[in-house]
């Protein structure tokens, strides 16, 4: 018992000594809010002192926060980068200060030796999964798709577009008629969808909406209903994230498919960091999370219940 207690004490003391800065993008979506809650809970579970900074969707705020963390001498920095470019300088400053940086859920266009690891999904594959679902379901029918893109310049917007286009490329009956950013938010998703509906004969020319996240899809569903059409049947709805609200929409017959993105990026990040700080063990540069497809056949009510309270 004595030895057990002393091991426990020393592990707890080690964890409590760790201070980690987290530069979060903001709270543009239900998924993002869940990632924030899960990260805080994972830190608390491990006795890590987490310094949290909300950048309100602005890269300049993220850069300021990272510089602040460096000045405070934190042990590590987590960052969910709002856009892909413009990180070389500040990540270089963290490297010079010997502070490991871990990227969460989005990538950067910067040299790989500027960060320890990146925990994210394969965003191109997410787009492919969504596109494959659509082509398999419309079969030979002509299908005009409208696309709601994520934040301009962010890796999920770039990659989810690419993957979807790849998946539909050999299906001449399926094409993207209109594509615009909805900034990953519900309100912008609704507003942009209203414009698409107006431009496409009151929505009658649209076969499907592909949204780069569920929040925009939920906004689009509202716009479709306001136009007197049925989301889920008159216009198919496919998106990414698997947040509770999209399962509620599926249970109501108003959404057709979503690709899951786990909000728990922090668990693998803290595990990789602990191993690195303990033995200097370099983690793989990319730790890829799963991209699972869910449809109304997958017990949407149960999935909604299972997710409620998990930080969403």
Q: Which residues of this chain interact with ligand AHR, rule CB under 6 A? A: 28-29, 31-32, 105-106, 156, 184, 213, 215, 240-241, 261
**Token pair 């608390």 in the structure block, residue:** 44
Measured from the CB atom, is 32 or 46 closer to ligand AHR? 32
The least CB distance from residue 229 to ligand AHR, in Å, is 25
Query: What tokens appear for 47 in the block?
Result: 């006795």
Query: What tokens appear for 117 in the block?
Result: 């690891």
Burial of 200 (0-12, 13-18, 19+ CB in 10 A): middle
Measured from the CB atom, is 33 or 138 closer to ligand AHR? 33
Measured from the CB atom, is 15 or 310 closer to ligand AHR? 310
The least CB distance from residue 150 to ligand AHR, in Å, is 6
What is the C-alpha to C-alpha distance for residues 253 and 233, in angstroms, rounded to an integer?
Answer: 8
Nearest Cα to 134, choosing from 193, 204, 208, 189?
A: 208
The least CB distance from residue 242 to ligand AHR, in Å, is 10
Measured from the CB atom, is 26 or 203 closer to ligand AHR? 26
The least CB distance from residue 292 to ligand AHR, in Å, is 14
What is the C-alpha to C-alpha distance for residues 108 and 90, in angstroms, rounded to an integer?
Answer: 12
What is the C-alpha to C-alpha distance for residues 206 and 193, in angstroms, rounded to an integer?
Answer: 11
The least CB distance from residue 31 to ligand AHR, in Å, is 4
Q: In degrees, to the nearest 5, what angle opens at C-alpha 243 toward C-alphas 141 and 136?
A: 20
Measured from the CB atom, is 70 or 125 closer to ligand AHR? 125
């Amino acid at each position: 018992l004595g030895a057990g207690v002393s091991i426990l004490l020393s592990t707890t003391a080690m964890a409590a000594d760790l201070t980690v800065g987290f530069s979060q993008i903001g709270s543009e979506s239900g998924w993002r809010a869940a990632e924030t809650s899960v990260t805080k809970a994972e830190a608390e579970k491990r006795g890590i002192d987490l310094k949290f900074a909300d950048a309100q969707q602005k890269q300049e705020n993220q850069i300021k926060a990272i510089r602040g963390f460096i000045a405070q001498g934190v042990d590590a920095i987590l960052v969910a980068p709002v856009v892909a470019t413009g990180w070389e300088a500040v990540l270089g400053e963290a490297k010079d200060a010997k502070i490991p940086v871990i990227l969460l859920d989005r990538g950067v266009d910067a040299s790989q030796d500027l960060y320890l690891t990146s925990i994210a999904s394969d965003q191109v594959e997410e787009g492919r999964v969504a596109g494959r679902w659509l082509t398999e379901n419309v079969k030979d029918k002509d299908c005009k798709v409208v696309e709601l893109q994520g934040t301009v310049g962010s890796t999920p917007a770039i990659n989810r577009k690419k993957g979807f286009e790849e998946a539909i490329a050999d299906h001449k009956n399926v094409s993207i008629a209109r594509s615009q950013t909805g900034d990953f938010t519900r309100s912008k998703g609704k507003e942009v969808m209203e414009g698409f509906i107006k431009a496409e004969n009151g929505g009658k020319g649209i076969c499907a909406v592909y949204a780069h996240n569920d929040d925009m899809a939920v906004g689009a569903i509202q716009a479709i209903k306001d136009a007197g059409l049925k989301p889920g049947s008159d216009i198919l709805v496919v998106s990414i994230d698997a947040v509770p609200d999209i399962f509620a929409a599926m249970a109501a017959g108003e959404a057709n498919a979503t690709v899951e993105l786990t909000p728990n990026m922090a668990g693998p990040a803290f595990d990789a960091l602990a191993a690195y700080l303990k033995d200097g063990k370099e983690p793989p540069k990319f730790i890829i999370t799963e991209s699972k497809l869910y449809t109304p056949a997958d017990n949407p009510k149960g999935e909604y219940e299972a997710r409620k309270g998990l930080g969403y």
